[in-house]
């Protein structure tokens, strides 16, 4: 469910706060870079602050996802204009006549991690070929 | 949800949550929302995608047909035929149905949607033909993410090179955030982690959280210990719905400690599984069988079943380029024993997702007839077509097992975006190298050279691993010289 307008206002004001907090952390990071002379300590400070910043970035994204959820049915006015401009209207029948259904398994990489060592043998997925359409 | 098999005016059709659509230049592609299966994408005419985008769980078929009339200028019967086409497309392959009947307000699960306007905005126009399988897509469908090559175990069968990069050249966590944000904007939403063990990368949980917030699905294979606290944190950041965690475990006794280079590994793995299952995670396992551990498989499988593992794969040792040990191959009798035992236990326990796929793949004594038959049905390589791999320092390679250096590196996310690398001439030249580079090999005079590279691809990994030369046929090619036993 999307947020109500009142909830959205609260969330949006929190977004502004988070931006301020990120700004502060970034300043803190700059200071640490200047003050700290020991390279190991400098890296440590950088890592800690970087993680805090990224944590805030995640909080921001979480709010943006919540606020951005659109429960209403999509308005298709602009979609109609676009469909017209892309010549979808005139050729849709011809396209359907030409449609073929073909799939074949592939080595997606990473699958060897999951125990797949026989990729030449397990993907004999049939070609579906032409299917009568219209 | 009930798979859609027929058209009725008042039904509401929706796109299964297990599938996604995306415009791709002049077509619509539909693909399993899962990193492992996404390479089995299908294409359809753009208008099919427009129709799918109208399936928002609110419109009846009759209403969708009316919208199609208005959007595409179709007569009503043609609009209905378009929906019938989608149903026949959806049901054309058993097990790959993507359209479901939906009863709004009936407490049913979620479904996938795609904004009609966004679909049309991204679409370049019409195509009268399908995208051929094996063609390069406008953007990758999946990424293999390798945040680190580090790992806290040392498996004798590991296929990863596990070298470098130097800590100061590894991508920072904030750079990984940028990469994931760009992937989200490109609608690349299914990923596989590899490496190295991803959990060995400091701060990785924040990246997981970012990916979840973007609605991404990913496979997380690990041998790291997952404590109750960490399992709980994974749960709290929403990983349960979108992440499959795979724990690798090869036996029940201390014998496997020697195999994985870690003290009391089996109990550590069982604790991780228990902690994850308690949090409701979909846990699966992978087991590599060698002569050292294969006798433990029956006991292991029962244990995994009792722990609540959802899916378990049992396989046999496969040749590793970097640390191969011939003594780890199972012989035919051992392979048969493993497969039979697992099959029997799966049947006794009624565990459908227990799988044993131990097999010998041997190119050292080629059977040309068998090779020819298998060659025609070979899997196509998704590297550079629908997938690419991001290594710990940001270099891009097209297979997670190849060395992470020249000539395998086709770009770098340190200096380029995903789109720039994907559209670069380097990636195309790697996938389809000039024939001149194959001088003196069977490929040089092969009539199928262009088709081989443009359609299914040549397994450059096996070619390099077998002949120490990237520009040779892969050993499964009927024209290739004898290679090695691979598994």
Mean pLDDT of chain A: 71
| Sign of the dihedral defined by the CA atoms of residues B413, B19, B129, B446, in that order | positive
Residue A31 contacts residue A52 (beta carbons within 8 Å): no
pLDDT reported for residue A132 = 26
Q: In this model, does residue B128 exceed pLDDT 90?
A: no
pLDDT in tens, B280-311: 999 999 999 999 999 999 999 999 999 999 99
d(CA A15, CA A8): 10
3-state DSSP call for residue B216?
A: coil
Mean predicted confidence (pLDDT) in A59-84: 83
Binned at pLDDT 50, 70 and 90, residue B379 comes out as: confident
For residue A64, give the nearest of A21, A114, A11 by alpha carbon.
A11
Lowest mean pLDDT of A36-40, B39-43, B369-373, name the range: A36-40
Closest Cα in chain A, distance from residue B125 (Å): 5
> Which helix (H) or strand (E) is B192 found in, with range?
strand B190-193
pLDDT over 50 (residue B388): yes
| ipTM score assigned to the predicted complex | 0.82
Q: What mean pLDDT is predicted for residues B256-265?
A: 94
| C-alpha angle B18-B39-B128 in degrees, rounded to nearest 5 | 95
Residue range B184-199, pLDDT digits in tens: 999 999 999 998 999 9
Q: Nearest to residue B12, comparing CAs of B4, B20, B23?
A: B4
The answer for B 105-124 residues in CB contact with A (under 8 A) is: 115-117, 120-121, 123-124
Q: Are B146 and B389 in contact (CB under 8 A)?
A: yes
Helix axes B265-278, B228-236, angle to 10 degrees: 40
Rounded to whole angstroms, the Cα distance separating B301 from B187 reads: 38
The Cα–Cα gap between B268 and B262 comes to 10
Nearest alpha-carbon partner for B311 in B359, B251, B355, B249:
B355
- Residue B127: closest CA among B30, B23, B15, B41: B23
Looking at beta carbons, which residues of chain B come within 8 Å of A84? 73
| DSSP-derived secondary structure letter, B455 | I
**Is A41 a residue whose pLDDT tops 70?**
yes
Residue B9: CB atoms within 10 A of its CB come to 10
Residues B84 and B86: their CA atoms lie apart, in Å, by 5
Instruction: Tell me which of A110 and B225 has the higher pLDDT.
Output: B225
Place of tokens 């040392």: B154
Q: Strand pairing partners for B362? A: B485
Kindly list the residues from chain A whose CB atom is less than 8 angstroms away from the CB atom of residue B88: 131, 133
Rounded to 5 degrees, φ, ψ at B289 are -95, 135
B452-463: average pLDDT: 88
Flag whether residue A116 sits within 8 Å of chain B, measured between CB atoms: yes
Q: Which residues on neighbouring strands pair with residue B168, listed in sequence order?
A: none
Q: Which of A55, A120, A133 shows the shortest C-beta gap to B378?
A: A120
- β pairing state of B142-145 and B387-390: parallel
Could you tell me the CA-to-CA distances from B226 to B207, B246, B264 in Å, in that order? Answer: 17, 11, 15
- Rounded to whole angstroms, the Cα distance separating B174 from B151 reads 21
Pairwise pLDDT comparison (B262 vs A122), residue with the higher score = B262
Q: How far apart are CA B63 and CA B58, in angstroms?
A: 9
Whether residue A76 and residue B92 make contact (CB cut-off 8 A), yes or no, is: no
The partner residues of B102 in beta bridges, in order of sequence, read B12
With a CB cutoff of 8 Å and minimum separation 6, the contacts of A39 are none
Confidence of residue A110 (pLDDT cuts 50, 70, 90): low
pLDDT higher than 60, residue B355: yes
The whole-number average pLDDT for the span B374-394 is 89
Q: In what order do the strands lie in the sheet with B27-32?
A: B19-24, B27-32, B42-45
pLDDT tens per residue across span B395-417: 999 999 999 999 999 999 999 99
Number of residues that make up chain B: 487
Contact call for B78 and A92, based on CB within 8 A: yes
Residue B425 tokens read as 């001439």
In sequence order, the β-bridge partners of residue B397 are B389
Q: What is the CA radius of gyration of chain B?
A: 24
Residues sharing a CB contact under 8 Å with residue B310, sequence separation 6 or more, in sequence order: B282, B283, B284, B353
In this structure, are residues B431 and B385 in contact, taking their beta carbons and an 8 Å threshold? Answer: yes
Average pLDDT of the residues in B28-55: 90
Half-sphere exposure of B482 (CA within 13 A, CB side): 5
B155 class by beta-carbon count within 10 Å (0-12 exposed, 13-18 middle, 19+ buried) = buried
Name the β-bridge partners of B244: B219, B282
Task: Tell me whether residues B128 and A76 touch, CB distance under 8 A.
Answer: no
Chain A residues inside the 8 Å CB shell of B211: none
Residues with Cβ within 8 Å of A30's Cβ and at least 6 positions away in sequence, in order, are: none
Nearest CA in chain B to A62: B213
Nearest to B90 by CA among A99, A101, A130, A94: A101
Which of A47, A79, A126 comes nearest B116 by C-beta? Answer: A79
Would you say residue A34 has pLDDT above 70? yes
Q: Which of A5-14, A108-117, B242-251, B391-400 has the lowest mean pLDDT?
A: A108-117
* pLDDT at residue B40, rounded to an integer: 84
Tokens describing residue B68? 């199609």
**pLDDT for residue A71:** 58
Number of A:B CB contacts under 8 A? 246
- Percent of chain B beyond pLDDT 90? 72
């Amino acid at each position: 469910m999307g947020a109500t307008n009142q909830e959205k206002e609260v969330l949006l004001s929190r977004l502004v706060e988070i931006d301020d907090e990120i700004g502060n952390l970034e300043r803190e990071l700059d200071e640490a870079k200047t003050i700290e002379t020991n390279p190991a300590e400098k890296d440590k400070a950088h890592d800690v602050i970087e993680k805090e910043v990224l944590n805030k970035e995640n909080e921001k994204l979480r709010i943006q996802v919540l606020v951005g959820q659109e429960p209403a049915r999509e308005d298709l006015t602009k979609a109609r204009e676009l469909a017209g401009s892309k010549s979808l209207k005139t050729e849709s029948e011809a396209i359907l006549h030409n449609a073929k259904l073909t799939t074949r398994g592939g080595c997606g990489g990473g699958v060897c991690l999951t125990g797949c060592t026989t990729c030449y043998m397990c993907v004999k997925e049939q070609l579906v070929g032409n299917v009568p359409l219209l | 949800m009930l798979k859609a098999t027929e058209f009725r005016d008042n039904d509401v059709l929706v796109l299964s949550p297990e599938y996604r659509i995306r415009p791709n230049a002049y077509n619509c592609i539909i693909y399993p929302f899962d990193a492992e299966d996404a390479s089995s994408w299908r294409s359809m005419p753009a208008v099919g995608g427009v129709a799918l985008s109208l399936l928002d769980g609110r419109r009846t078929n009759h209403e969708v047909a009316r919208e199609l009339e208005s959007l595409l200028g179709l007569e009503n019967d043609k609009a209905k035929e378009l929906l019938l086409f989608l149903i026949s497309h959806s049901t054309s392959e058993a097990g790959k149905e993507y359209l479901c009947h939906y009863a709004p307000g009936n407490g049913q699960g979620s479904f996938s949607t795609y904004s009609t306007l966004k679909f049309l905005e991204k679409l370049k126009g019409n195509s009268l033909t399908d995208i051929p399988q094996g063609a390069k897509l406008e953007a990758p469908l999946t990424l293999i993410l390798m945040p680190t090559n580090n790992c806290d175990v040392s498996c004798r069968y590991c296929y990863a090179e596990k070298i470098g990069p130097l800590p100061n050249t590894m991508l920072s966590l904030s750079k990984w955030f940028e990469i994931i944000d760009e992937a989200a904007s490109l609608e690349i939403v299914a990923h596989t982690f590899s490496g190295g063990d991803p959990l060995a990368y400091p701060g990785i949980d924040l990246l997981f959280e970012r990916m979840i917030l973007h609605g991404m699905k990913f496979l997380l294979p690990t041998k790291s210990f997952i404590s109750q606290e960490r399992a709980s944190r994974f749960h709290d950041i929403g990983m349960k719905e979108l992440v499959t965690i795979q724990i690798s475990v090869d036996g029940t006794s201390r014998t496997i400690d020697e195999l994985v280079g870690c003290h009391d590994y089996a109990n550590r793995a069982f604790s991780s599984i228990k902690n994850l299952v308690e949090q409701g995670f979909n846990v699966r396992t992978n087991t590599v069988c060698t002569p050292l551990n294969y006798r433990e498989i029956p006991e292991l499988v029962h244990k995994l079943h009792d722990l609540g593992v959802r899916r378990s794969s049992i396989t046999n040792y496969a040749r590793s380029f970097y640390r191969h040990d011939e003594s780890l191959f199972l012989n035919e009798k051992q392979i048969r024993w493993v497969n039979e035992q697992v099959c029997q236990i799966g049947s006794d326990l009624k565990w459908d997702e227990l799988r044993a796929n131990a097999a010998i793949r041997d190119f050292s004594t080629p059977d040309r007839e068998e090779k020819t038959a298998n060659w025609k049905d070979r899997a196509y390589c998704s590297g550079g077509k629908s997938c690419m791999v991001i290594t710990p320092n940001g270099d891009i390679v097209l297979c997670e097992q190849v060395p992470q250096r020249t000539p395998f590196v086709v770009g770098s996310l340190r200096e380029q975006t995903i789109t720039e690398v994907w559209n670069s001439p380097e990636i195309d030249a790697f996938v389809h190298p000039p024939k001149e580079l194959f001088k003196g090999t069977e490929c040089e005079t092969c009539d199928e050279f262009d088709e081989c590279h443009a359609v299914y691809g040549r397994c450059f990994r096996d070619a390099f691993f077998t002949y120490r030369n990237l520009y040779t046929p892969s050993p499964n090619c009927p024209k290739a010289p004898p290679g090695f036993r691979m598994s």
